[in-house]
Every structure is written in structure tokens, then in C-alpha cells.
Chain A
Amino acid sequence: MANALEATERKQNDKSTARDIYLPPERKKVSGGGAPHVSAKNFSIYYGEFEAVKKVNADILSKYVTAIIGPSGCGKSTFLRAINRMNDLIPNCHTTGALMFDGDDVYGKFTDEVLLRKKIGMVFQKPNPFPKSIFDNIAYGPRLHGIKDRKTLDALVEKSLRKAALWDEVSDRLDKNALGLSGGQQQRLCVARTLAVEPEILLLDEPTSALDPKATAKIEDLIQELRGSYTIMIVTHNMQQASRVSDYTMFFYEGVLIEHAPTAQLFTRPKDQMTEDYITGRFS
């Protein structure tokens, strides 16, 4: 698929299409990426009897950004939350088929979901910092995983905040309560908090839907920064956003993965009529 991406990149440079607005920016190949990081094979997710995600087959490529789009209730969040087993919190939620992470079965009998979540971090739709200081928020994960040394923690907190482009704004008030930050800052704090655990995959569920355009732009910039270092999956209702930030896009409709393709291709020459209808706004 990495090759497919390059191909579309070239093609896209050659000719422009009618839907300029969705044209993704030029994308560089990521070094060392492109291997299937998460693979779904006939993967279904049920809430009780209800099959919310239906027999998905897909490879999510490492170090690239994959966007998930689709109308409300189509199972985007369900699919995303299944990857780090956040759905375990829902009592009657279960899965069939296989979901592999780095070649291991996510839902295997001997999988440690706590370890899994350490490797697959998640940022939620609503910023959800803990009611603790900024420092304690970032240090929460590392402390959990056994880092007690203050110097190491200091360094880690700074590194994470810098990665999340928040350091300059909060470096002088690390001991203040995180709930005092603005919504956009809080969301970047949540990203920093996730990064502090040094995950391999970053799952973002509509991370900007509660933010204003300026804060949204910052998060999008952040995703660009992080691309190449982390495998990123982002659920979004905003198709411009999907086209701006992602390399690949998955289009879900009523729990079915309709189309999964390089973003440029999906937005310019979708293979499926439904995708075409959705991205042109014929239904939503």
C-alpha cells in the first residue's frame, strides 16, 4: 500500500481534479514505515446481538496517518476503541474474527490488555485531563510504569510537552491544575500525556470536534509533526481535515468498511459509488 501511496502522489501532481478542496497536501514517504501494524481479518464487533462493525479486513500501516470517516453511528469509534480494547469497559461488547497488533492477537487469551494500552495510546473526543497538576497529568503514565526518579520524570514531561507543542505555553505553570487550561491546550495536554507513555500507535477519536478552528489547526499541525514517528489513526467528521492530515482513509458505512485507500485516491477517484456520494456531501 505504501507503493500505492507514492503512485497517487505522483498522479496527483500530474493532473488536478474538480474537487480541489479535498486535495491532500503533498505527502512524503515515511522512512521505516509502511508495514502492517494493525491488521483486521473478518473482524466484527457486537454490542450484545447488534453487529456494530461488520467483518472488516484491513491493514493499518505503521508510521502513517490513517483517517476514519463515515456517517454518524457507522462504527468509527467502535472500531477505533476495539484496537486498544477500550470496549472492554462496555459489559456486553464482544468481537469475532481476528485483530492483530504487531502479529499478536489483540483479543487473544493471553493478551495483557494493560500492556496493550500502554503501546496503543488514545486521545478522546472531549479533552479529559485528570483534575491534577499539568506535571502530574503528564507524569501519570510514566509513574504508573515505574518511573519514580524526579529528574527522569522532569525530562520526560518536558519532552512530551514539547512534542505536543505545548511546552512554551505551560512551562511556567506545570504545578497548576490542568483543568485551568483552555480546551485546545487541554487536548494537546492529553496528547502529551499519551506520548509520555511512549506508545507505538496513537488513536484519536474526533480530537478536534470540541475545539475552535485555531486550536484545531494546532492539533492538525501536531499530527503532521508526529507522523513518521507514530502510527496514527484519527476519526473525523471533517473531510477537509481527513484530507489534510492523513495518508490513508477508511470509509465506513453502517459498520461495513466500504473503502480503504490512499487519501488522495479516495478523495479524488473513489472506487465505490457510496464513497463518492459521501465525500461529495450527497448524504452524511
Chain B
Amino acid sequence: MNLGTRKLLDRSFTALGIGSIIIMGLALLVVLVPIVSNGIGALVFRETVEHRKLLLSEFHRGDAGDLEKELVISNGYRQKAFDILAAFDRELEQMEPERQEVYRESYEQVRTALRVLLGPLPGEELPELTRFRYGQTRWDKAEEKLHDLLYEQKWDYSNPDVIAKPNDVSRASIFAGTSLVRLFPYVEENIDRMMMPQWTIYWGFITDSSLDSHFFGGIWPEIQGTIFLAIGAMIFAFPLGVIAAIYFTEYAREGFLNSLLRSANSTLAGVPSIVFGLFGLAFFINTLHVSESKSVLAGSLTLAIMILPTIIRAAEEAILSVPKTYKEASLGLGSTKWNTIMTVILPAALPGILTGGVISLGRAAGETAPIIFTAAVSVGTAIGLGDVLSSPTPALSWNIYNLASEHEAAAQIRHVQYGMVLSLVMIVLLLNLSAVILRARISKKLKG
């Protein structure tokens, strides 16, 4: 190969490499940007006075006096809207039945839209579900609901050859000629006085329990559950894995049984996680009865079995990469094998062992399938440390799936779902980052 072609090859390979890295970066960006921007929205948003009301009455946070003053102003503006409703109620009563019929349905829609926006209307009973007791707590949602109040969505079926399209029809035009027509410009004009939006950082999203299945409140039970499960898995898997790795590398004699065990370990590392989930249910819960039904304990054990092969492999490699000369030196000084392992080999292998451990911890935190049948519930409160043996727990991974697929009001609480995704990503990223730092630190100490 002559110099020209060689250079050309080198260049094109460099270009190829850079190209693939850029594509990878872009893909990552496409995934991360919405996660981060939407996820942040769960924490940083414009909260309405409804949110402050909610925080005070449900979480006992905020200043009652300040809220009282705000409510006086807000209710003043709301009252005018309610007055318009009352006036229209009277007007409706005096109409002939045929005309009443014309407005009845549309009027119900208006009342509903206003209820969704501002909370229960005057004279109505306090609803059973918390989600109906308050108006919109987030300004971005309030603006959406305002639109629903101002316009009715009509489907245009006029042309049978094309798919029907929704059409916004102004409600003001529907109620033209009645007293209700004043309501729409009034609410549109004064919505921010009624809602009083303020930028806020809602740390409670991380530290609060959820209210009314994630309609309000935070995701602390999920975060805590994830931490419990991951740490629980580590407590079982890490010591066991390291001991197994020491056995494989230092004690096991090369032979049929040993190579069988090793390949079993490798195979185990590749088993799909749902299989571990079913195994956990069948073995830990149905056979061993570690708990009545789902529990943190059963979930941790299942996750532990899942990450065990990875920990063993990482620890094995770390131990094998310790120079043989260290071992010789130690044994040559009259050290026992056990002592050599504890004082020389393990300390030198520690960076690798810990890296494997932390990466497994991240995996345990992120996996969904193993905990579906063994530990996770979709809605629940944070459990105490004393309950881990018997209680199931919500967990981020499972609840993300649940919110996305099974929640009855998924579309209304997307921000919670994104917030959970971001939290999970952050937890895993932080764990991996700490692995990198830990490794660098210990390696530096070892290298001097």
C-alpha cells in the first residue's frame, strides 16, 4: 500500500469515527433534551394560587396569612365570574323550555370547564377525590383549560371523504344574546388575577408523597423505594459476588466443575430481566415465602440475583488484573493466603470491584421487570425502614411505566412522569459519576 492510499484510508477512518461519535451525541441529545426540559418542569414552574392553597391544606406548608390575603383578591375576581353564572341561571329559568334545551348542554360544558379551571363552583359539594377539590395548580395547564373554556371543540364531519378535523368554535358566539356572553371576555381578561401565577421551585416534588395517585404532590415514595431496592440488592449481591470472585480466582482448582460454574455465571449475565422477575416470584415468594406477597425484601433478592453475575465478573477481572508480583511479594514475606488476599489483593483490586458494584447499583435502580411481580406497587406511601421485610413499595422505574401506560389520567400529569424519568436518570448518572470519581481517587492513591 503506498503512502497516498494509506493516508487516504487513515483520513476516511478518522472521518468515519468522528461521524459516528457525532451521530451518537445527537441521538443522546434527542433523548436527553426532552427528558431534562420536561422533567425540570415538574420542579420549576409557575404555580397558581390553587397550588399554594393545596400546599397549605394538604402539606401544611406556606404562610396562612399571606395566602388569606391572596385569596381575598383572587376570590374577589372569581366572584364576578360566579355572579355572571348566577345571573345566567336566573335568565335560563325564565326561558321557554325549547330555548332552555338549546343552551342546556353547552352551559353544562361551560360550568365544567370553569370548575376544572378554578375548582368547585359556589354551592357545590366538596368532591370526594382530591384532584377535583382544586383548580389548576400549574399556570401552563391553566392556560390550556382557559382555552377549553373559551372554545368548544367541534368535529367537522361535513366531508365524508376526509378524516374529521376538530374545529374551535368560540363559546361566546354560542351564547350570543344572553347574559353569559360577558363571562368569556371577563375570564380571559382576569385569569391571571384569579390564578396569581408565580415562578416557583417546588422541592416538594422530590420530598413529598403523591396525592390522589400522582395528581398532586411529589415522588418521594418512588425515589425512596428505588433507593431501598437498589441498596437492598447491593447488600445481598456485593459481598456474595466478591466472595465468589475470590473463590473463582484464588481458590478454585481448574476443572470441569469450575469451568461449568464460570460459564453458568456468564450465561446468567445475559438472561432477560423479566425472567429474573418471574424467578423471584416463583422462588422467593411462592417457594421460600420470604414475605406474604410483594415486598422490598423479595425485590431486593431478585435484583441481587440479577446483578450478581455482573459483580462477580467485574470483581474477578479486577482481582486478576492485580499484578502477580504483589501476591508473590506478600507470600514471600511469610503472609498467609487469606492475609495476602485481604491486605494486598483486595485493596489493589478495589477500584475495579467498586466500579462494577456501582454500575450494578445503577442497573438495580433502573430495572423494571424484576420488581413487577416481587416488589412494586403503583401507588403507595413511603414505607418505613422497618417495613422493608413485608411491604411492597412504589419505585421510579415501575411507576414511569405505570404512568405512561396504565394511569387513568396520564395525559394530565405528563410532567410528573417526566419528573420521574429525570430523577431516575439523575440517580443512575450520579451513581456512575461517583464510580468514576471513586475509581480515579483510589487509583491515584495506589499509584502514588
Residue A18, interface by CB 8 Å? no
When the two chains form the complex, which single residue of A84, A121, A144, A178 contacts B448, counting CB atoms closer than 8 Å? A178
* Interface window among A110-118, A233-241, A262-270: A110-118
Question: Is A167 interfacial (CB 8 A cutoff)?
Answer: no
A140 touches B332 (CB 8 A): no
Chain B residue nearest to A196 (CB atoms) is: B333
Segment at the interface with A among B195-203, B272-280, B335-343: B335-343
Cα–Cα, bound, A197→B445 (Å): 26
Binary B-proximity of A189-209 (CB < 8 A = 1, otherwise 0): 010011001000000000000
Tell me which of B321-329, B420-428, B432-440 binds A.
Answer: B321-329
Q: Which residues of A are found within 8 Å of B330, using beta-carbon distances? A: 130, 140
Contact check, A128 vs B328: say whether CB atoms are below 8 A apart.
yes
A12 at the binding interface (Cβ < 8 Å): no
Q: Is the CB of B328 within 8 A of A144?
A: no
- The minimal Cβ–Cβ distance linking A199 to chain B, given in whole angstroms, is 8
Which residues, 70 to 106 on A, are CB-close (under 8 Å) to B? 84, 86, 89, 91
Contact B334–A124 (Cβ < 8 Å):
no
The distance in angstroms between the C-alpha atoms of A174 and B446, with both chains bound, is 15
In contact, B328 and A86 (Cβ under 8 angstroms): yes
Q: Are B448 and A131 in contact (CB under 8 A)?
A: yes
A91-B253, A91-B254 known; A130 vs B344 contact (CB < 8 Å): yes
| Inter-chain contacts of B348 with A (CB < 8 A) | 131
Closest to B331 in A: A117
Contact indicator per residue, chain B 18-36, by CB within 8 Å of chain A (1) or not (0): 0000000000000000000
Query: B7 in the interface, Cβ–Cβ < 8 Å?
Result: no
Q: Is B99 an interface residue (CB 8 A)?
A: no
B69 at interface, CB cutoff 8 A: no
Nearest residue (CB) in B for A117 is B334
Q: In the complex, which residues of chain A have a beta carbon less than 8 angstroms from the beta carbon of B334?
A: 114-119, 141, 144-145, 197
Q: List B contacts of A179 (CB < 8 A).
A: 446-448
**A-B contact number at CB 8 A:** 76
Q: Is the CB of A121 within 8 A of B333?
A: yes
Interface secondary structure of A, over-half rule: helix
Interface flag for A229 (CB, 8 Å): no
Q: Is the CB–CB distance between A144 and B339 below 8 Å?
A: yes
Q: Would you call B325 and A131 a contact (CB within 8 A)?
A: no
A274 to B54, CA, bound (A): 100
Let me know if A213 is at the binding interface, CB within 8 A: no
Closest to A131 in B: B446
Cα distance A129–B448 when bound, in Å? 12
- For residue B324, which residue of chain A has the nearest CB? A89
Question: Does the CB pair B448–A180 fall under 8 Å?
Answer: yes
Contacts of A119 in B (CB 8 A): 334
**A130-B326, A130-B330, A131-B348 known; A114 vs B336 contact (CB < 8 Å):** yes
Q: Which of B331, B343, B445, B447 has the most CB of A within 10 A?
A: B331
Contacts A89-B328, A140-B335 supplied; 14 other A-B pairs, CB < 8 Å? A116-B334, A117-B332, A118-B334, A119-B334, A128-B325, A128-B329, A130-B329, A131-B447, A131-B448, A144-B334, A177-B447, A179-B448, A180-B448, A190-B329
Q: Using a CB–CB distance below 8 Å, which chain A residues touch chain B?
A: 84, 86, 89, 91, 114-119, 121-122, 124, 126, 128-131, 140-141, 144-145, 176-180, 190, 193-194, 197
Show 8 residue pairs from A and B whose CB-CB distance is below 8 angstroms, ordered by the A residue.
Answer: A118-B333, A124-B332, A128-B323, A131-B326, A131-B347, A140-B335, A178-B448, A197-B333
